[in-house]
Structure 1
Amino acid sequence: MTQSRLLVCGFGSFPAAPRNPSAAVVEALAREAWAPPGIEVEYLTLPVAWTGSVEAIQRALAHRAADAVLVVGVATESDAFRVETMGRNHAGRAKPDDLGETWEGSVIKPEGPGALASTAPTDEILAALIGSHLAARLSDDAGDYLCNFTLYRLLADAAAPSVAFLHVPQAREFSDAASGSLQEIDQAVRATVRTLADALRRPVAERHTA
C-alpha cells in the first residue's frame, strides 16, 4: 500500500518578521526528518513573494503529488494559534512582499469565488491544539497578505485533496513583544501534522472537513 504524503511549508522572512518562526520550526523538523508513523512528510520553506510562494509549492507538487498540504505562517500580532477555515479572494495592494513588490489588484483571481472553505479537518486540528494545552481558535479571515493569498490559490487550484493553514504567533525568541515560543510552535505544527496524518489513514469516505 502506498504511503500517504504530506507537504509542510513555512514562510521565510518579510518586512514585518525579519525572523519568521514558521520557517525556523519547519526547517528544524526537516533536519530531524520527523514524520508520524506510516506517513511521508516533505518540508519546504517559501519565499514571501506575491510571485513565488505558490509557485514553489506548485513545483514541489509537480515533482511529487501530496495528499495534504499544510502551510504555516506567522501572525505577528496574534496571541493564539489560528486554524484558518477560509481563503478569501482579496489581497492588500499596498503591502510589499520581501522583494518590495506589491500585488497588482485587490482580488487574487478575478474569475474566482469570493471565498473558499478549507479542505482540511479544521475542527480536529483545533481540538488537537487545545488538547496540547495551546491557546488556539478557528479563524475565517487569514488577512490580506501572502498567507491568505497562498491559502486561496491552493484551494482554488485544488492543489491537494486536503489544504490546511496554521497561523502561529511570533516567537519570544525573535521579538520581546511576542506571545509564543519556538517550542510551542514546534508542538503546534507536530500536532497539526499528526491530525492530518490521522485523517489520511481513514478511508476516503470517512474523511470530513469542518
Structure 2
Amino acid sequence: MTAEGWKTVLVTGFRPFPGAPVNPTEHLMQSLPGRLGEVTSTVRFVFHVLPTTWAGRHEVTGKLRRDIRPDAIVHFGVDGTRSTLNIETRAVNRAEQVRPDAAGETAPAAQLASGAEETRMSTLPAGALCEAARAAGAPVELSADAGTYLCNATLWDSIGSGIPSIFIHVPALPESPNDKRPAFAVVETAAVRILEEVARRLG
C-alpha cells in the first residue's frame, strides 16, 4: 500500500515484436488511464509499456516490481493466433530458444529458472476476471497455456515475486469486417472491467 493509503495495481502491455508489428496492448496502456483514471477511492493504477526483449525481463520489468512494490500486477500481451481474450491460469518454466525478441535475441536458456518448479499458478482469481470480461461482452476463455515466449516469462517472474499476478492475452486487431476477432473497443472495455474487479477485491 502506498503512503497515501491507496493500494497500487501495476498494469503492463508490450511493445511490438517480430510477428506483431502492431501490439494492441501498447495502445491499451495509452487508453486505459482515460477510461479508469489513475486513482479510485482505494486503488492507484500505474501503467507501463514493457520492451519485448529478454534483457528487459530483468532490467525493466523486474525493476518496476521492485520500485513500485504493487499490491497486484495485471499483465496484458498479444497472441495473434487467438481469436478470444485468454486469462492465463499458469506459467511454465520453459523458454523457446528459436523465436527472436524485438532486439533480435533469443532466450538465454531453455528454462526460466534452473532447478525451479515446472509450473506456477496465477495468483489473482482467473475465474472472476474471466466473468468480468465476459460481462463486458468480450469473447473470453480461461487458458492453461501462456506459451514459452516473453508473456509466459513475465507471468512466471511476477508470480514468483510473491505479488498477486495474472496475465491476459488479447487477440491481434481484426483486419477486415469479416474478421471474427474483437474490435479494440471491446478489448478495452473488457480490460476496464478486469481492472475494476481487481480493484474491488483489493479495496
Report the TM-score, using the length of structure 2 for normalisation. 0.91
Deviation at 1:192, TM superposition (A): 1.1
Deviation at 1:85, TM superposition (A): 0.3
The superposition leaves residues 66-88 of structure 1 with CA deviations (integer Å, 9 ceiling, x where unpaired) of 10011000011111110000010
Unaligned runs of 5+ in 2: none
127-136 or 85-94, larger mean C-alpha shift: 127-136
* Corresponding residue number in structure 2 for 1:2: 5
Deviation at 1:36, TM superposition (A): 6.3
SS at the partner of 1:127? Answer: helix
Spell out the pairing of 1:129-140 with structure 2 (5 A cutoff): 129-140=133-144
Instruction: Supply the distance in 2 between the matched residues of 1:195 and 1:32 (Cα, whole angstroms).
Output: 14
- Contact (CA 8 Å) 1:54, 1:154: kept in 2 or not? no
Identical amino acids, percent of aligned pairs: 26
Spell out the pairing of 1:69-80 with structure 2 (5 A cutoff): 69-80=73-84
- Give the aligned length: 197
Instruction: Supply the distance in 1 between the matched residues of 2:73 and 2:56 (Cα, whole angstroms).
Output: 17
Instruction: Supply the distance in 1 between the matched residues of 2:61 and 2:100 (Cα, whole angstroms).
Output: 20
Instruction: Supply the distance in 2 between the matched residues of 1:98 and 1:106 (Cα, whole angstroms).
Output: 18
Spell out the pairing of 1:148-187 with structure 2 (5 A cutoff): 148-158=152-162, 160=163, 162-172=164-174, 175-176=175-176, 179-187=181-189
The superposition leaves residues 122-167 of structure 1 with CA deviations (integer Å, 9 ceiling, x where unpaired) of 1100111111121111001101111001111111232x2x101100
* Corresponding residue number in structure 2 for 1:45: 49
Spell out the pairing of 1:28-107 with structure 2 (5 A cutoff): 28-30=31-33, 34-35=37-38, 37-38=40-41, 39-107=43-111
Runs of 4+ deviating beyond 4 Å: none
SS at the partner of 1:197? Answer: helix
- Contact (CA 8 Å) 1:49, 1:97: kept in 2 or not? yes
53-62 or 115-124, larger mean C-alpha shift: 53-62
**Cα distance, 1:123–1:36 mapped onto 2, change above 3 Å:** farther
Of the three residues 97, 110, 117, the one matched with 1:113 is 117
- Contact (CA 8 Å) 2:138, 2:182: kept in 1 or not? no
Unaligned runs of 5+ in 1: 202-210
